[in-house]
Amino acid sequence: MELSILNKDGKAGKKVKLSDAIFAVEPNDHAIYLDVKQYLANQRQGTSKSKERAEISGSTRKIKKQKGTGTARAGSIKSPLFRGGGTVFGPRPRNYSFKLNKKLKNLARCSAFTHKAKSGDLLILEDFQMDAPKTAEFSQIMSNLKCNNKKTLLVVSESNKNIYLSSRNLQGAKVVSPLDVNTYDLVNASKVIVSQGALEKIESILS
């Protein structure tokens, strides 16, 4: 597959050939599902906790006599049956993360790239630099690429603080390096923009 390299003004120039091993694989949707599931699970803090009856502060005195009241027997005010008592089977701190094989994660990313390439939502942008953080300038570039007001993922060849700061105030815009590209961001973005230098690094990482 060949795509035109766009400049900051959105004009097409020479073409670049994409690697079939990354952008033209047989998509595996289940691999994408597992990788996205792992990413979201890893975002969970897992710190929810409720007190059980052994952790509630309160008297251990038997609150009423065993027989003769006409109601059920009760021994502790900390019983889950009473207001202010312990919680039954409440949440406990836990780790939600799980392991996935490296080959499966690579397959998931390649499948996501293939979906974007086939649907026309993958753009190749020539390398550019920003001398200072300017949100208006970054927004103009996105507008020239017809990606304004859309969820966009921009992959740059190396971390550039000015480009990152320029995009930070724009809702839906995200800038990452090739090493930080994950399946969730690829699937979540409406448009994926890859700089020319980042394309070479992505191919070397995933091939």
More confident residue, 1 or 203: 203
Give pLDDT, residue 148.
83
* 143-200 tens-digit pLDDT: 999 988 889 999 998 878 899 999 998 988 999 999 999 999 999 999 999 999 999 9
The rounded distance, in Å, linking the Cα atoms of 175 and 188 is 13
The rounded distance, in Å, linking the Cα atoms of 184 and 45 is 18
Overall fold of domain 2-44+98-206:
Ribosomal Protein L4; Chain: A; (3.40.1370)
CATH 3.40.1370.10 domain residues, the chain = 2-44+98-206
CB 89 within 8 A of CB 52: no
pTM score, two decimals?
0.83
Extract the tokens encoding 155: 């992959």
The rounded distance, in Å, linking the Cα atoms of 1 and 21 is 11
Give pLDDT, residue 129.
86
